[in-house]
Amino acid sequence: MSRIAASVLAADFGRLGEVVVESEAAGVDRFHLDVMDGHFVPNLTFGPVVIEAVRRRTDRPLDVHAMVREPERLAPDLVRAGADLLAFHLEATPHPHRLLEAIRGLGAKAGIAVNPGTPVEALADLLELADQVLLMSVNPGFAGQRFIERTYRRLETLVRMRRDEGLGFEIAVDGGVKPENAGRLAGLGADVLVAASGLYNGRPVAENLAAYREALGDPGGALPR
């Protein structure tokens, strides 16, 4: 059953703590925290201080999605701040192999994210070191963008690579995931679905989450980590 990772990017940052508490109570499986540096992507969000603050408000796992140049520089601080999993972009460093090992060495799970324009085949020699592949279904930078349809084919390719190599990394899909496409993504093999604007849009989180659960044929209740 696919898990729902709540990206607070579309939430009201003026009440971030309450949003986190409300989301946990609603039953989100984990949080997905989008760190942006204004260079790798054309937007700036937050860093370790805010991750630490979220960490204090929830026991749910924190997946940190680093959209930053030179992710190796920030990785130790992001893990120290409370990331259970840290995903960085293949496009952001010449040494993704080294960084995956380093993140595991820091005691976190290691994830690798790929932009929509990067062939998933480029991940081939990294997959055995990855706990998660974060397949971007929008160009990273903003919540509320439209899902790129080609993602379905990319997901199929990645699932095939995982099977052929006998590997166990999880596949997360990030960007434009709504109840309307969640079922198809889960059916193709996505383990984690990231949602920002589908969860944080003025309606209660519990109600929005229920729509995802229904689309997934899931009776509800957060899954163990």
Enumerate the active-site residues: 34, 174
**98-111 exposure pattern, b = at least 16 Cβ within 10 A, e = fewer:** ebbebbeeeebbbb
User: Nearer Cβ to ligand DX5, position 101 or 149?
Assistant: 149
Q: From Zn ion, ligand DX5, none, which one binds at residue 23 (CB under 5 to 8 Å depending on kind)?
A: none
Sole window of 15-23, 31-39, 87-95, 152-160 interacting with Zn ion (rule: CB under 5 A)? 31-39
Interacting residues with ligand DX5 (CB under 6 A): 7, 9-10, 32, 34, 65, 138, 140-145, 174-177, 194-198
The residue from 65, 89, 109, 213 that contacts Zn ion (CB under 5 A) is: 65
89 binds Zn ion (CB under 5 A): no
For residue 79 the two structure tokens come to: 């893990």
Please tell me the distance from the alpha carbon of residue 10 to that of residue 4, in angstroms, as a whole number. 15
Please tell me the distance from the alpha carbon of residue 3 to that of residue 106, in angstroms, as a whole number. 25
34 binds Zn ion (CB under 5 A): yes
Residues 6+ apart with CB under 8 A from 161: 120, 121, 123, 124, 127, 167
29 binds Zn ion (CB under 5 A): no
30 binds Zn ion (CB under 5 A): no
Residue 216 and residue 183 in contact, taking contact as beta carbons nearer than 8 Å:
yes
Site for Zn ion in 155-174 (CB under 5 A): 174
154 — phi, psi (to 5°)? -65, -40
37 binds Zn ion (CB under 5 A): no
Please tell me the distance from the alpha carbon of residue 137 to that of residue 217, in angstroms, as a whole number. 22
Q: From ligand DX5, Zn ion, none, which one binds at residue 71 (CB under 5 to 8 Å depending on kind)?
A: none
User: Nearer Cβ to Zn ion, position 145 or 214?
Assistant: 145
Residue 23 and residue 205 in contact, taking contact as beta carbons nearer than 8 Å:
yes
Q: From ligand DX5, Zn ion, none, which one binds at residue 132 (CB under 5 to 8 Å depending on kind)?
A: none
**Residue of this chain nearest to Zn ion (CB atom):** 65
User: Nearer Cβ to ligand DX5, position 23 or 197?
Assistant: 197
Sort residue 110 into left (φ over 0), alpha (ψ -120 to 50) or beta: beta
CB of residue 189 vs ligand DX5: minimum separation in angstroms? 19
Binding residues for Zn ion (CB under 5 A)? 34, 65, 174
